[in-house]
Structure 1
Amino acid sequence: MGWFKTKKGPPAVSAMQTAPRSGWQAGWEWNRSAPLAGGEQRLYGALRESVPIISAALEKTVRLIGAFQVECPDAAARRGLAEFLRRVPVGAAQAGIHSFLCTYLDQLLMYGTAVGEILLSADADGIAGLYNARLEHLELRRGENPLEVQLCVRGPSGEAVPVKHPNLVLLSALNPEPGEVRGVSILRGLPFLGEVLMKIYHTIGVNWDRVGNTRFAVTYKPSGDGDRAYGAERARQIADQWSRAMQSGAGVSDFVAVGDVSIRVIGADNQILDSDIPVRQLLEQIVAKLGVPPFLLGLSWSSTERMSSQQADLLTSELESYRRLLEPVIEKICRIWLLLNGYSERMEIVWEDISLQDTVDLSGARLKNAQAAKLEWEVQKEKEGRA
């Protein structure tokens, strides 16, 4: 652990004018703690399971984040680091930094906060693996100044104990509110829309169950006094004959009745509500919140190529913002590996292009700029020749 003793901690803060003072919170430690899992997080999990389009959007966002390479001044360090990032164990059944980042980013988008850990070997001379931590037993605690945050683990007794080696912990927060240590889930604001959407889908299922399994109303109207005297008996006979005629698997059977008997389908006069407009309005709100173009989710709302390209540009900007959130995590892992292996911690993360279309557009833009520069040069030479 000697590699980490020389690393400087957060700079001391001389004064806090807008943050709550620790003296005001004496005896109220709960006000400084922020559990990472609770009813809100469980609600997000249930929402993701209930609305498949939300799960599809999160999974596509994680897959589209792309790959990266780490450049180092030392060629040996670059080769060793690349091999480590490709083979580092992740959890119990995965390997590679990409697997770790996929789970990390999914947790970050889902819950607003992601926690991971760098696992050192027994003799602390190398990184043994990476671990994606569950949030149920973790909580964040504010430090003595607004620049410090402490990760705590709740034990069997329920007491929160700070982690022993916070320098090996990886922590990210998505769009935290001012003064808060936890991030905000990308699904915030969607539970209400998801509940309404599930009600519509449930109603559609109930209505189709009723329409598919048709119910009949058989009405017998006695025409005279004699019919009224035996009305109950005739109604019972009609009911028995109708039940026999409607039995499944008994073959074709005729229904014969005497008197004024009418047969109607229950609910035939009612019209099933059109669900296209409300469902589309709800899905538009959900897709707008998730930031994924509709055509990637199988929704053909925009048919023009111009609109699709603009949506792709917006997705590119979203993915670049997520990359910026992941870069400190990648840098911390790489720098610890470099220091443990005796290399300089100088390194640079180089992301691959998000898609081939970006490369094509960039090449086209460079070609047009070159053509414009050539045309300007020819015009300038022509003017000089005339002069």
Structure 2
Amino acid sequence: MKLFSKQKAAPPRVQLRSAQAHPFSLIDSYVPLGSAETRLYRMIREAVPVVDAAIMKIVRLTGGFEVSCADKNAQRALAEFIRTVPVGRGQTGLESFLAQYLDSMITCGRAVGEIVANGNRDIAAVLCGNVADVQIREGKTPLDFELCGVSDTGCVTPFRYQNLLLFTPFNPEADSPYGVSMLRSMPFLCGILLKIYQSLGINWERAGNVRFAVVYKPQGDALDRFSAQERAQQIAAQWSEAMQSGKSGSVRDFVAVGDVDIKVIGADNQILDSEVPVRQILEQLIARTGIPPFLLGLNWSTTERMSAQQADLMTSELNAIRRTVTPVIEKICRMWLNMHGYATTLTVEWETINLQDEVEEAKAALYLAQRDKIYWEEGKSNEDH
């Protein structure tokens, strides 16, 4: 009997979820991240320019931010960090990181990032990650979860430093920790739209590269009918040479004897009107993004009052997105303050969203000032009496 025998390492265990759990998972407490789904969303943005432009508008209109602290020295040092921190791909500043983070969150439904710390108790960089490389292990409660990755052996293991990771879902559902992409409802409509544009391209290609039907009709005499095949071959050869000469830029006439009928193939067919179906599809796509059509260069019929209401709705959408990513900014800034020994509070202050006409805003401010003046004068006159 060996008292001091060497213990063998326990083999990795793989446990399947029960039937009541997520149907697409093979490992207990894991919900798979659909990498194919994210590739589909990227392809939609590449194929439909108006969707790509809408997401870029949302990212740009979200605007910049400033972080204010109770300690002014800490605020100045933190502002320098926010402006100069490397974020990868030759870019610096948390606003550049936020643009990448928002792009991933809106397109893929989630965004992941990492705070890279060095040995000098400082943040060396803040980087965005690929959402397809990250999975989530759910705990016993919704508040308990870990970000995991696939190791070299193919096992899904949690990342070592969870406190340095950033994760934000976009409109998460109750039964899944992953968010919902803004493009989730678009693949069907985008497929129809691409089919319409593909057919338009084919029709215009045919219009620019015309096909001809040359029909030779023999006469009633026996000699003409006997030599019909030979004459048809001669007509075909001469017509082909005339078409080839036209491609090279030279002009060559086609002369035929007898009853020869030349028609353009498909000339009698009419191209379907695509304006109505394309507009209906674009209306659905743009309605999902929440961007007013006039911001995307679409000259649809709208009134001035309607445009103002659309701008107000867009402002509320942008404020909701800001509330979603504010905790990420606070976590990065708070970690930097703690690393540098600043015990102070911080507040993220976003830039004002300005989608309204400045003249109308000035008129509104004037009306408010006149109202306050009237109230003040009436209150003073009542005091005199």
TM-score between both structures, scaled by the size of structure 1? 0.88
Task: Tell me the equivalent position of 2:50.
Answer: 53
The answer as to whether partners of 1:216 and 1:265 remain within 8 angstroms in 2 is yes
The one of 205, 208, 225 aligned to 2:204: 208
Matched, 1:314 2:313: yes
Query: Could you tell me how far apart the structure 2 residues matched to 1:115 and 1:100 are?
Result: 11
Residue 145 of structure 1 aligns with an amino acid whose one-letter code is: T
Residues 60-81 of structure 1: CA deviation (Å, up to 9, x unaligned): 1111111111111111000000
What fraction of aligned residue pairs are identical, expressed as a percent?
51
Task: Tell me the equivalent position of 1:101.
Answer: 98
Matched, 1:261 2:260: yes
Matched, 1:156 2:152: yes
1:236 deviation in Å? 0.7
Task: Tell me the equivalent position of 2:74.
Answer: 77
Query: Could you tell me how far apart the structure 2 residues matched to 1:326 and 1:300 are?
Result: 33
Task: Tell me the equivalent position of 1:291.
Answer: 290
Aligned-residue RMSD, C-alpha: 2.3
Residues 165-205 of structure 1: CA deviation (Å, up to 9, x unaligned): 11111110111111311000000010111111110010000
1:122 deviation in Å? 2.2
Residues 299-325 of structure 1: CA deviation (Å, up to 9, x unaligned): 111343222222221111111111101
SS at match of 1:223: coil
1:223 deviation in Å? 1.6
Relative to structure 1, the CA distance from residue 105 to residue 250 in structure 2 (aligned partners, 3 Å threshold; closer, same or farther) is closer
The answer as to whether partners of 2:70 and 2:344 remain within 8 angstroms in 1 is no
Residues 222-371 of structure 1 mapped to structure 2, 5 A cutoff: 222-224=218-220, 225-247=222-244, 248-249=247-248, 251-355=250-354, 357=356, 364-371=363-370
Instruction: Extract unaligned runs of 5+ from structure 1.
Output: 1-19
1:100 deviation in Å? 0.6
Query: Could you tell me how far apart the structure 1 residues matched to 2:370 and 2:276 are?
Result: 48
Relative to structure 1, the CA distance from residue 29 to residue 142 in structure 2 (aligned partners, 3 Å threshold; closer, same or farther) is farther
The answer as to whether partners of 1:107 and 1:113 remain within 8 angstroms in 2 is yes
Matched, 1:192 2:188: yes
Residues 26-80 of structure 1: CA deviation (Å, up to 9, x unaligned): xx86252123342211111111111111111111111111111111111100000
1:137 deviation in Å? 1.9
Task: Tell me the equivalent position of 1:36.
Answer: 33
The answer as to whether partners of 1:302 and 1:308 remain within 8 angstroms in 2 is no
Residue 264 of structure 2 aligns with an amino acid whose one-letter code is: V
SS at match of 1:241: helix
Residue 261 of structure 1 aligns with an amino acid whose one-letter code is: V
The answer as to whether partners of 1:115 and 1:172 remain within 8 angstroms in 2 is yes
Relative to structure 1, the CA distance from residue 29 to residue 57 in structure 2 (aligned partners, 3 Å threshold; closer, same or farther) is same
Query: Could you tell me how far apart the structure 1 residues matched to 2:74 and 2:358 are?
Result: 29
Number of matched pairs: 363
Query: Could you tell me how far apart the structure 2 residues matched to 1:380 and 1:130 are?
Result: 56
Relative to structure 1, the CA distance from residue 356 to residue 174 in structure 2 (aligned partners, 3 Å threshold; closer, same or farther) is closer
SS at match of 1:349: strand
The answer as to whether partners of 1:37 and 1:137 remain within 8 angstroms in 2 is no
Query: Could you tell me how far apart the structure 2 residues matched to 1:108 and 1:147 are?
Result: 20
Task: Tell me the equivalent position of 1:7.
Answer: none
Residue 79 of structure 1 aligns with an amino acid whose one-letter code is: R
Query: Could you tell me how far apart the structure 2 residues matched to 1:92 and 1:120 are?
Result: 18
Q: Which region of structure 1 is more displaced relative to structure 2, 146-155 or 36-45?
A: 36-45
Task: Tell me the equivalent position of 1:218.
Answer: 214
Query: Could you tell me how far apart the structure 2 residues matched to 1:138 and 1:69 are?
Result: 30
Query: Could you tell me how far apart the structure 1 residues matched to 2:383 and 2:157 are?
Result: 79
The answer as to whether partners of 2:216 and 2:261 remain within 8 angstroms in 1 is yes
Relative to structure 1, the CA distance from residue 74 to residue 312 in structure 2 (aligned partners, 3 Å threshold; closer, same or farther) is same
1:153 deviation in Å? 1.0
Residue 207 of structure 2 aligns with an amino acid whose one-letter code is: V
Q: Which region of structure 1 is more displaced relative to structure 2, 29-38 or 51-60?
A: 29-38
Relative to structure 1, the CA distance from residue 356 to residue 194 in structure 2 (aligned partners, 3 Å threshold; closer, same or farther) is closer
1:345 deviation in Å? 3.9
Q: Which region of structure 1 is more displaced relative to structure 2, 30-39 or 104-113?
A: 30-39
Residue 336 of structure 1 aligns with an amino acid whose one-letter code is: M
Q: Which region of structure 1 is more displaced relative to structure 2, 366-375 or 158-167?
A: 366-375
Query: Could you tell me how far apart the structure 1 residues matched to 2:289 and 2:177 are?
Result: 22
Relative to structure 1, the CA distance from residue 324 to residue 342 in structure 2 (aligned partners, 3 Å threshold; closer, same or farther) is same
Relative to structure 1, the CA distance from residue 50 to residue 366 in structure 2 (aligned partners, 3 Å threshold; closer, same or farther) is same
Query: Could you tell me how far apart the structure 1 residues matched to 2:340 and 2:365 are?
Result: 41
1:290 deviation in Å? 1.1
The answer as to whether partners of 1:353 and 1:359 remain within 8 angstroms in 2 is no
The one of 127, 131, 134 aligned to 1:135: 131
Query: Could you tell me how far apart the structure 2 residues matched to 1:364 and 1:117 are?
Result: 46
